[in-house]
Amino acid sequence: MAIPKLIRITTVPLSLEKLLEGQLAYMQDYFEVTAVSADAQRLKIYGAKHKVKVFPVEMTRQITPLKDLKALLKLVLFLKREQPAIVHTHTPKAGIVGMLASKLAGVPIRLHTVAGLPLMEATGKKRKLLETVERITYRCATKVYPNSKGLYEFIRVQNFTLNTKLKIIGKGSSNGIDTHHFDPELFTEEAKYDFRKELGISATDFVYVFVGRLVGDKGINELVQAFHEICDLEQSRAAKLLLVGPLETNLDPLEASILKVIKENTNIIAVGYQQDVRSYLAISDALVFPSYREGFPNVVMQAGAMGLPSIVTNINGCNEIIEDSKNGLIIPRKNVEALVNAMLKIINDQQLYLKLKQTARPMIVNRYQRKEVWQALLEEYKSLLQEKGLSLDK
């Protein structure tokens, strides 16, 4: 009997590389896996590295009706030719294109993971359009997987789809975390000292770190403003703010005044996109992640696994990984004053800081091991195949 085909679709290869790191290679032991995404060259490199088939379909994160229609038609023809048992999509654009194409092509098992909803921050006509896109995506899907309890409740309350379609895999997260890879013991004190010195950070500086896209929705405007205020306080310890991630100027650009502060404040170190963020987490003292909306943020798990307390906003995902005053602090979103207070508290209250730091890694290790998430998803695939009268040999 032929091994079932599994198609995984994301809008851009970065999501395959980072958000689903290792997962497709794991599933290759049970399925004939094909990764579908934009950027043919980068996708080809990904496929070669992880030994999975690839199929490029040009998709954009913006609203581009003509390009989207072209992508839809190309994907329908591909799926009719391949006849996969399962199509599983991630990210909003890949979701609408992939689920609609799968429905039109007659794919029996059509799955969509929700790892964040841009519509949460949208208003007016854009909000209505994004809501319509979600409803169509979920209508075409046979199952919808919010990757956090908060997203599950939001989708349920908004009545975007039938409750019977909704399910959280495991304890949440799209991919869990490899706690052997994200382990502070991999970095010696000497290596950390040298790397700090290379970046212009002294051994006594307290380092706040942010990892992610430098855009408004991630709370970067508030973070930079809060840190700039902290730098002006005489009673504050010497501190640095490490910004690890790409500066995006198209969809959600930072305020001009904030860009000016990033450029001129010598205590802010922006290093751009980094393939491996572990060294930056290893030399840092606390993660600050004041995002407006998330699904189940990998970086908060990564920081925790590296032994860092986190300051996060009270949004879904973040408030499931972090328990206030246990492995981090939870603050209201879009609130500079609350952010300043939390950043000062974590730097000045040594007893609290040590308590948070001691529990940070164990809480991640005990709840979000990557292979447990993969196994839970594999069991879901097996169950759905059985419901359709299909089987998985392994």
Look up residue 203 and give its two tokens.
Answer: 């051994």
**What is the per-residue pLDDT across 61-115, written as a single tens digit (0 to 9) for each?**
777 888 999 999 999 999 999 999 999 999 999 999 999 999 999 999 999 999 9
- Delimiting residues of CATH 3.40.50.2000 domain(s) in the chain: 5-176+370-387, 184-367
The CA-CA-CA angle for residues 293, 274, 48, to 5°, reads 100
For the chain, what is the mean pLDDT? 94
**What is the per-residue pLDDT across 141-187, written as a single tens digit (0 to 9) for each?**
999 999 999 999 999 999 999 999 999 998 889 999 999 999 999 99
| Domain 5-176+370-387 class in CATH | alpha beta
What pLDDT, on a 0 to 100 scale, did the predictor assign at position 72?
Answer: 96
For the chain, where are the alpha helices, taking DSSP H only? 13-14, 23-27, 40-50, 65-82, 92-105, 124-140, 149-157, 189-199, 220-231, 256-264, 278-282, 298-305, 318-321, 336-348, 350-367, 370-387
pTM above 0.95, yes or no: no
Residue 392 has pLDDT above 80, yes or no: no
What pLDDT, on a 0 to 100 scale, did the predictor assign at position 393?
Answer: 63
CA nearest to 230, candidates 241, 219, 221: 241
The CATH fold assigned to 184-367 is Rossmann fold (3.40.50)
Query: Do the beta carbons of residue 96 and residue 119 sit within 8 Å?
Result: no
**Placement of tokens 């399910």 in the chain:** 167
CA torsion, points 357, 358, 360, 362, in degrees to nearest 10?
A: 170
What pLDDT, on a 0 to 100 scale, did the predictor assign at position 235?
Answer: 58
**What is the per-residue pLDDT across 297-355, written as a single tens digit (0 to 9) for each?**
999 999 999 999 999 999 989 999 999 999 999 999 999 999 999 999 999 999 999 99
Length of the chain: 394
